[in-house]
Amino acid sequence: MALNKVVICGVNTAKLPLLTNEEKTKLFIQVEQGDYRARERLVEGNLRLVLSVIQRFSASSENADDLFQVGCIGLMKAIDNFDRSLNVKFSTYAVPMIIGECRRYLRDNNAIRVSRSLRDIAYKAIYAKEKILREEDREPTIDEVAKAIELDKELVVMALDAIATPMSLYDPVYQEGGDTLYIMDQVSDKKNKEENWVEDISLKEAMKRLSEREYNIIKLRFFEGKTQTEVASEIAISQAQVSRLEKSALKSMKGYLNME
């Protein structure tokens, strides 16, 4: 795998921007407010991080362009899930996610070879989806993505399925000390409805002591079975803020119940 090339995936690596810590902080604040241009700048400003990570896989026979694109997906996931309140450097959080994305790609790509043309279609679909999301502030349908790249919907679905990697619900999205956020935290729970477990009057009393925003988050998450991302969209805050407020609310409720 040749990594000494100047251009990877059409990106001139010699001209990649660098962001100061202050710039990163400002951009993350803007991202939390829904600014997709700020998200783009964060991605561009951290592409050198992706390059440094994929060099760890120099012994692999994989094409550097492919690994760079996979690493960028890991970078975007890191940006979308980063929680500034945990006082961790972004690079410390992002590097394991980028490495994990690359390792899953190499593992699955070795087991079942996905054609280059199919991977190209999948990456085009991902970028088209990002573009529609940025411009229209909504999640596009498969039909819209297929139309944007001028391909049949069936082919787009096949391509995206081909590069998808199975993950455990217990894979950590973030881990710092004893505070771990798992994939299952983002999965909708359709069975944990209010009538199934909110029968204890003490629990209702504990909820009454929450702020209005915390109460709404707990109600949407555990009574209506919505994911943190869905809750964030509904109450117009970031997913990271939902996660933080949810943990604070549960801690407060637990403290109250332990006093009972």
Rounded to two decimals, the pTM is 0.42
SS (H, E, C) the chain: CCCCCCEECCEEHHHCCCCCHHHHHHHHHHHHCCCHHHHHHHHHHCHHHHHHHHHHHCCCCCCHHHHHHHHHHHHHHHHHHCCHHHCCCHHHHHHHHHHHHHHHHHHHHHHCCCCHHHHHHHHHHHHHHHHHHHHHCCCCCHHHHHHHCCCCHHHHHHHHHHHCCCCCCCCEEEEECCEEEEHHHHCCCCCCCHHHHCCCHHHHHHHHCCCHHHHHHHHHHHHCCCCHHHHHHHHCCCHHHHHHHHHHHHHHHHHHHHHC
Query: Is 50 exceeded by the pLDDT of residue 253?
Result: yes
pLDDT tens readout for residues 24-70: 889 888 988 888 888 888 888 888 888 888 887 776 667 778 888 88
Q: Which pLDDT does position 249 carry in this prediction?
A: 85
